[in-house]
A and B are shown apart, each in its own frame.
Chain A
Amino acid sequence: MSLAEIMLAALWLGLSAYVLFGGADFGGGVWDLLAGGTHRGRDQRDLVMHSIGPIWEANHVWLIFVIVLMWTGIPSVFAAITSTLYIPLTLAALGIIARGAGFAFRKASTDLWQQRLFGAAFAFSSVVTPFFLGTAAGAIASGRVPPGIAAGDVMSAWLNPTSAVSGALAVGIAAYLAAVYLTHDARRGRRQDLAEAFRARALAAGMMVGLLATAGLLVLRGDAPGLFTELTTGRALPLLVLSVAAGLVSLVLLWRRTYLAARASAALTVLGLLWGWGLGQYPWLLPGVTLDQAAATRPVLAATLGALAVGALITLPSLWYLYATFQRPTPSADQDRPHTTGDDTPASGRRRE
């Protein structure tokens, strides 16, 4: 593997982590939006808040990692993408602001109307943001971002069938992952009722994702024949098969309430799609631009990859520690304790009103 290929693989790993972890946090917001009235939806909302509270900022950093690695490793491609797609990307960035701020503000507020207002900002932007990020992915996959600065059409690049489907698919994937993850969280918190509710949602979302992915393939056939061929008959076929198989397995596991294993197979479903796209398009990054043409100079790649390797030695164990800390039940069994309020309740593991 050349340095450029290692860099691209690191980029795609970062993207995968963002979709699997950050994507699920978005999905939590989607379910928050769909949870129903203030009283009926309260327990579900609490579970979502509780599950993503300590980890969403760390999950969010994967996105920054991807952006920075793009401008470091393939600067001209980064410039082409951001300049042509500045409308959906600006909207996604604003969605990220509304979402993070809404989440933090809701947690800090006590009155019902404040929580409703901030909660609405959080939930609504959780749908909008992955949608626009998905349209941008669709624009790249369908070859609508040409090389050069703002060389593409700023409207039709992301207003087209492939972008529409991939935007919807991104929201669907987020919702599906979140529902699958939450079933296990609910069970661990001994909330069978919530586990059942999210199991039903996970099943529905999983079938939805399957439908959307199929629709996406059909659209690709007309819109991006090259990628379609690779996915259906070429190199990327095994990954597509993996994705479909893992998706079906995850539905069966959900049906049988084997939630932890369902997590793994749901993740595999999504990874199959993502890496299938990547492999199907490789080595072309943009129309007429290969990885070798776009890659940064050797010293930059070497220094950056070296730094990332050292960084991984520190961050990966820390990430593990973070997840482990909050996947362990608290000594004070957080889920079934009565609601505690009052000003100085510690932020940890207690539910907010």
Chain B
Amino acid sequence: MVQAGVVVADLAAARMQMALSLGWHIVIACFGVGMPAIVLFAEWRGHRTGDAHFRLLARRWARAMGVLFAVGAVSGTILSFEMGLLWPGLMGTYGEVIGLPFSLEGIAFFIEAIFLGIYLYAWDRLPPVPHMLSAVPIVMAGVASAFFVVTANAWMQQPTGFDVAGGRVVAVDPWAAMFNPATPPQTAHMILAAFMVAGFGMASVYAVAMLRGRRDRYHRLGFLLPFTVAAVITPVQVGVGDWAARFVADNQPVKLAAMEGVYESARGVPLHLGGVATGGEMRYALEIPNGLSLLAHGDPQAEVMGLNEVPARDRPPVNVVHWAFQIMVGIGVALLALSAWFGLAWRRRRDFPRSRWFLRAASLSGVASVLALEAGWVVTEVGRQPWIVYGVLRVSEAVNPAPGLAYGFILVAAVYAVLTAGTVYVLRLMARRPVPIAPQESDVTGEPVV
């Protein structure tokens, strides 16, 4: 049901542009959410124990954080433009319904940006304790901004808190819209994902360095601190993911059917591992009998709705959603195993596993968690298709009908390619700078303070 005038290519371009800019921003945003806490912890340990390595780590990480925050801020700004540039049909009518969390997010951004300026630039102007205190608002605001923006996305999955009359929204309850049923599982899952991405991502850098033979205390600490954070969170994340899946099963049955490639409604439905959906069925999949009914509803005989219950035009693309889900869960389980390996070795010898294979796996964990993150968002967003607001507004009704969106997408994609290259280049440049043998005076002098 494309509006008169909307070119199909433009709709596709708008969707790809949104997916590209969101998928880009979210990786950086995860570091914005997770990294400040890890950096602050390192700085605190440094002051507390007098171990200069910690302070050196904190300072180098803070430098990288400065770059990441800058690109995070600009890539987030383009997103707020795009909400209107690409989806005026959504924002013109429903902008006010999701405006509250975005306004609160704006406050969080202010706090983040203000204290980041102080934390990064006043490192030597402030004594240690006020300096560390200036990082606390950054930690809180980062988590808060992730929470707020995901409530807006959750509303798109479970729209509540408004009525529509005569093409305008009436009886809007912004708090009800913000605290919609999908908010708890989605925000929890996202915030944990951010800490996993930041933790595994930072640890990967040092795992690679250790594989190359640099096993001094500086690199070991640089690995251990973020890796521990991520390893502790991983089991929790798998549990929360299970909660998210049950929630989808209850509230977005079409999405669940696409995630699992279920076409016919039935009781005692098997779980599909792998497989391809063609010609209206799931083929070549490994089936675990009654697995889906059990996992989704806690009862091996529970009924699961199939895609055939809704007309073809109301179904999301099955293969994309199914495979994205498989990838996320697969990576989640693999990272769980890695964390367990680490945990066992730590309990036995207060050290991480000696095997080179552990370091090899750990050096992949950063990329893997980013992949899981992107896959999870594909499940959520593509699984919501063809709706932009589930059951209320279609994507094709929301898109900007102005001509030429496809050219805009090409331009934006080119800019993002350059931005990606620049960010990777600059971060590598910073990582390659040699660690000074004698740390800065200000990093080693001074008594333990806290």
Contact in complex: A68, B81 (CB < 8 Å): no
Query: In the complex where A61-B110, A348-B124 touch, is A325 in contact with B401 (Cβ < 8 A)?
Result: no
Contact in complex: B114, A318 (CB < 8 Å): yes
CB distance from B202 to the nearest CB of A (A): 17
CA distance A63 to B114 in the complex (A): 15
**B-to-A contact residues, CB < 8 Å:** 56, 59-60, 62-63, 66-67, 69-71, 73-78, 80-85, 88-89, 91-97, 99-100, 102-107, 109-111, 113-118, 120-125, 137, 169-175, 400-405, 408, 411-412, 415, 419, 422-423, 426, 429-430, 433-436, 439-440, 442-443
CA distance A78 to B86 in the complex (A): 12
Contact in complex: A83, B88 (CB < 8 Å): yes
Contact in complex: A325, B426 (CB < 8 Å): no
8 contacts between A and B (CB under 8 A): A53-B121, A61-B110, A100-B70, A118-B422, A296-B96, A300-B97, A300-B174, A348-B125
Q: Mask for A76-107, Cβ within 8 A of B = 1, else 0?
A: 10111111101101101110111111011101
Q: Which residues of B contact A1 (CB under 8 A)?
A: none
Interface of B is mostly: helix
A331 within 8 A of B: yes
Q: Which residues of A contact B419 (CB under 8 A)?
A: 97, 101
Q: Which residues of A contact B59 (CB under 8 A)?
A: 344, 346
Query: In the complex where A104-B71, A149-B400, A346-B442 touch, is A61 in contact with B106 (Cβ < 8 A)?
Result: yes
Query: In the complex where A80-B92, A89-B81 touch, is A303 in contact with B125 (Cβ < 8 A)?
Result: no
CB distance from B128 to the nearest CB of A (A): 13
Interface of A is mostly: helix
Q: Which residues of B contact A67 (CB under 8 A)?
A: 80-81, 84
Of A158-166, A187-195, A257-265, A308-316, the one with at least 4 CB within 8 A of chain B = A308-316
CA distance A297 to B162 in the complex (A): 11
CA distance A63 to B123 in the complex (A): 27
Could you tell me which residues of chain A, from 257 to 275, have a CB within 8 Å of some CB in chain B?
Answer: none
Look across to chain B and name the residue whose beta carbon is closest to the beta carbon of A84: B402
Q: Which residues of B contact A118 (CB under 8 A)?
A: 422
CB distance from A144 to the nearest CB of B (A): 14
A299 within 8 A of B: yes
A255 within 8 A of B: no
Query: In the complex where A72-B99, A101-B71 touch, is A343 in contact with B83 (Cβ < 8 A)?
Result: no
CA distance A72 to B124 in the complex (A): 41
CA distance A93 to B25 in the complex (A): 14
A336 within 8 A of B: no
CB distance from A132 to the nearest CB of B (A): 11
Contact in complex: B415, A307 (CB < 8 Å): no
A9 within 8 A of B: no
Contact in complex: B408, A349 (CB < 8 Å): no
A232 within 8 A of B: no
A3 within 8 A of B: no
Q: Mask for A107-150, Cβ within 8 A of B = 1, else 0?
A: 11110001000100000000000000000000000000000011
